[in-house]
Amino acid sequence: MSSDSSSTSGDEFTNPNPNPNSTSKPLEDQFASAALTEPDNEPPEIQESPNGVVNGSVSENNHGEIERNERGGAVGSNLEARQSVRWRRTNSEVEVEAPSSPSSSGYAGERGSSSGSGSSGGFEMIGGGIGGDDDEIQEVSNVDSIQDSQASWMPGKRHVDEDDASLSWRKRKKHFFILSNSGKPIYSRYGDEHKLAGFSATLQAIISFVENGGDRVKLVRAGNHQVVFLVKGPIYLVCISCTEEPYESLRGQLELIYGQMLLILTKSVNRCFEKNPKFDMTPLLGGTDVVFSSLIHSFSWNPATFLHAYTCLPLAYATRQAAGAILQDVADSGVLFAILMCKHKVISLVGAQKASLHPDDMLLLANFVMSSESFRTSESFSPICLPRYNPMAFLYAYVHYLDVDTYLMLLTTSSDAFYHLKDCRIRIEMVLLKSNVLSEVQRSMLDGGMHVEDLPTDPLPRSGTLSPHLGQPRDSPESFREPFVGIGGPAGLWHFMYRSIFLDQYVSSEFSPPINSPRKQKRLYRAYQNLYASMHDKGIGPHKTQFRRDENYVLLCWVTQDFELYAAFDPLADKAVAIKTCNRVCQWVKDVENEIFLLGASPFSW
């Protein structure tokens, strides 16, 4: 069962490439400057990550023609113009690039704001020290934030004092709104909903105007802004963004926001609107601002939001099995889903016969639980709805934190089940303690997952019986990795993400220098997100590759029926070597899949 994807490993990757040994053009010719694609009328420090490079070239990339994509790209029709702008740098500049240096690479320089105080009066710094979020971009050189880009983000709604008349409100790069089809505001990312009633009415007017013509409005472009609409019965969702993310990505984000709303209220709110079109929904969402703002924040750090897959905490196979066994035990006693998670990573999960959890539901549930402080203080019992499981009905969730990061969720259909679930939890907790699962979890949190620096140079001997942690001994991680600091892994590999299609799971390498600030991480995710959108834009074959080079990265994407691999390299990386490295990454993932994925069933489920 674990060898599902092995058939497409090995050298196949190089086959779809029509010309693997193509002699490279001079590097400068291959680079179109992304930094220079920024619209001129926007102060640079406000501008979203400049990967407009990828955005807009979507239709091109669908052909999967490697050489063509290699030109990097530019926004749609401006292709020619962009191409003429060359971006140059010498190798030595690359080599001296230090994580916090604002000057050397495309990372910080084009923003001109990466020195801590560099906000230079930009309005986006109204958010002050909050940092790290979608619009309040800030360089954080704090070591902690390297591991976890959530670290610097503070929950809760901000800028409540704003409304559509405020300059600052108008300049925010990404707005999200929920409103009713009568134009009543339900949620706004920024500003006070009630003060935005007029603006909401305008949005409603646009939507109904088009609907009256028997049509549907999906996207409006205005200058460098995109307005994306999603109509869900009586609920309208709107995103206004100048982040240059593809339409599909923004629409996917609106779908998740709608899902989050259903998780809190179920679809039965529709009935309230049927009875009373003027129904005011805001009170029903009381106290849930944090849930939405944390979801919106996760659009910029959590790849699960666009991969539609979940990720596991790396654990020894036996440890995960032990956790799965006790969860299975409980699931057999009338619990619908038993889920053990550590932050946003799954330790183990089990569903009662046939019940299966959609990765999006898991994302929304974990977001709901982690963003609501209330769950951390004591045992809780709350109605929740899993929109992909059944959007009409509530389930009941028993939630209990076993330690600071690790929490257990037991879902049931019965509103009376609190005491039963509490007993289940006590049993589970005992077993987990006895079998050291919780201490293993803590250790895995410290060790982290796959580090590109550890990519094995030679394939592991197949006959080897040793199973070192993720393929390499990690006894003294710091000293071991020292020689690599600042340059990523072998062959200029900086980062990768691997999504297993059958498992609905992905694994993402830990961030290491030079991708070491939340801002750089976010930019990389945006680049992946663009890549994802272009690869999933209808009609793709079973094997598809894409190779892009711009001044930020070399990006490589490889999609097969079994998996998708996204990898980022140093922009100067050699293409042939990069492709070889991707093959090694796939092999590595397969070698350690026991530890990084939740593989099928525990022994009891069949």
Positions in the binding site for other proteins (CB under 8 A) = 264-265, 283-288, 372-375, 377-383, 396-397, 415-416, 418
Measured from the CB atom, the residue of 226 and 412 that comes closer to other proteins is 412
Helix H segments across 229-358? 247-265, 269-275, 289-298, 304-307, 317-331
Measured from the CB atom, the residue of 283 and 603 that comes closer to other proteins is 283
Pairing of strands 395-401, 225-232: unpaired
**SS3 of residue 94 by DSSP:** helix
- Which residue is it, tokens 């959609």? 358
Q: b vs e for 5-18, b when ≥16 Cβ sit within 10 Å of the residue's Cβ?
A: beebbeeebeebbe
Closest approach, Cβ 550 to other proteins, in A, equals 43
Could you give the CA distance from residue 239 to residue 231 in angstroms, rounded to a whole number? 12
Radius of gyration of the chain from Cα atoms? 24
Write out the two tokens for 318.
């036996």
- Other C-beta atoms lying within 10 Å of the C-beta of residue 233: 11
Closest approach, Cβ 149 to other proteins, in A, equals 23
> How far is C-alpha 297 from the chain's CA centre?
10
Measured from the CB atom, the residue of 313 and 370 that comes closer to other proteins is 370
Measured from the CB atom, the residue of 268 and 561 that comes closer to other proteins is 268
Closest approach, Cβ 503 to other proteins, in A, equals 31
Closest approach, Cβ 182 to other proteins, in A, equals 19
Measured from the CB atom, the residue of 384 and 596 that comes closer to other proteins is 384
Could you give the CA distance from residue 17 to residue 576 in angstroms, rounded to a whole number? 10
Measured from the CB atom, the residue of 286 and 464 that comes closer to other proteins is 286
Closest approach, Cβ 208 to other proteins, in A, equals 27
Largest CA distance in the chain: 70
**580: Cβ contacts below 8 Å, ≥ 6 apart:** 491
Q: Please provide the DSSP assignment of 30-76 as one string.
A: HPBPSGGGS-TTS-TTTSPP-GGGTTT-HHHHTT--HHHHTT---SG
- Which residue is it, tokens 């699931």? 331
Closest approach, Cβ 228 to other proteins, in A, equals 27
Closest approach, Cβ 202 to other proteins, in A, equals 28
Measured from the CB atom, the residue of 286 and 603 that comes closer to other proteins is 286
Contact by Cβ (8 Å): 367, 331: no
Closest approach, Cβ 288 to other proteins, in A, equals 7
Contact by Cβ (8 Å): 459, 587: yes
Closest approach, Cβ 409 to other proteins, in A, equals 12
Measured from the CB atom, the residue of 98 and 426 that comes closer to other proteins is 426
Could you give the CA distance from residue 297 to residue 174 in angstroms, rounded to a whole number? 11
Measured from the CB atom, the residue of 95 and 161 that comes closer to other proteins is 161
